[in-house]
Structure 1
Amino acid sequence: MKLIELILNILWLVLCGIWMALGYVVAAIICFVLIVTIPFGIASLRIAGYVLWPFGRTTVERSGAGAPSFIGNVIWLIFAGWWLALGHLLTSIPLFLSIIGIPFGWANLKLIPISLMPLGRDVVATDERFGAR
């Protein structure tokens, strides 16, 4: 299974991973420049790493994430989340036009929820035991 994940990640990287990750890096740089939004920049870089190499990993809710994460997610949604989600949506359309690209189009659509609400989530390996999450 690891070989399949490696092949999928390499194809993903070439087809759309680099471009989508660059969007998250740009968002992170803007957040770091504005100083008070540094936590958003850190979350954006975490998602950029996930978007760069998504197969074999997933996201789970972070225990203890409460009202501050919710409020932060609302702010993120207004200023950055909607256009990153739009990027995933627009990137998925050409991928669906080829048979090889269909799994990558679905993967792009599955990344939309984390692009909209990244705070209070952790990226973990899919083979990690549920209890360890």
Structure 2
Amino acid sequence: MTFFSLLLNILWIVFGGLWMAAGWLIASVLMAITIIGIPWARAAFNIAFYTLLPFGQTVVSRDAYFGREDIGTGPLGMLGNIIWFVLAGWWLALAHVITAIGLAITIIGIPFAWAHLKLAGLALWPIGKMIVLKE
């Protein structure tokens, strides 16, 4: 992680990253409790870590990264995303949007607001995505 990414991540934690990562962790725990939600729990846990330290990482589609479809990028992945949207995706996305609106009021918060909006999109449709380091 570069110094600039580290600095942005520290500021990010202060400006809403910590509480949104906690929201993702809560979603992960709730999914794990249901047993059948374990695949979504694992994805939510990975995204919680990404939400805590987003700078220096990026989200890419798994089929674009590996060059082939898998179970999460095909029709079953779409079904999984629909189930995720109903159970947890909409409220996580709403929390990211509300945080983004609060941050966009200040000039220094605009880049962080934009990051929250990108995370809101990920919250709506996370299955079939993976988090990789920016290089």
On whether the aligned pair clears a TM of 0.5, the verdict is yes
1:70 aligns with: 78
1:79 aligns with: 87
Report the secondary structure of 1:111's partner residue. Answer: helix
2:100 aligns with: 92
Following the alignment from structure 2 to structure 1, what is the Cα–Cα distance between the partners of residues 32 and 102?
Answer: 32
TM-fit CA distance, 1:122: 0.5
Report the secondary structure of 1:59's partner residue. Answer: strand
Matched, 1:15 2:23: no
Following the alignment from structure 2 to structure 1, what is the Cα–Cα distance between the partners of residues 47 and 74?
Answer: 19
Following the alignment from structure 1 to structure 2, what is the Cα–Cα distance between the partners of residues 89 and 113?
Answer: 10
Q: How does 1:1-133 map to 2 (within 5 A)?
A: 2-63=2-63, 64=70, 65-127=73-135
2:67 aligns with: none
> What's the % identity of the aligned pairs?
46
Report the secondary structure of 2:54's partner residue. Answer: coil
- Structure 1 segments unaligned to the other structure (5+ residues): 128-133
Following the alignment from structure 1 to structure 2, what is the Cα–Cα distance between the partners of residues 105 and 11?
Answer: 12
TM-fit CA distance, 1:3: 1.4
With structure 2 as the length reference, what TM-score do the two structures score?
0.90
Following the alignment from structure 1 to structure 2, what is the Cα–Cα distance between the partners of residues 94 and 70?
Answer: 32
With structure 1 as the length reference, what TM-score do the two structures score?
0.92
Following the alignment from structure 1 to structure 2, what is the Cα–Cα distance between the partners of residues 78 and 34?
Answer: 15
Report the secondary structure of 2:21's partner residue. Answer: helix
Report the secondary structure of 1:12's partner residue. Answer: helix
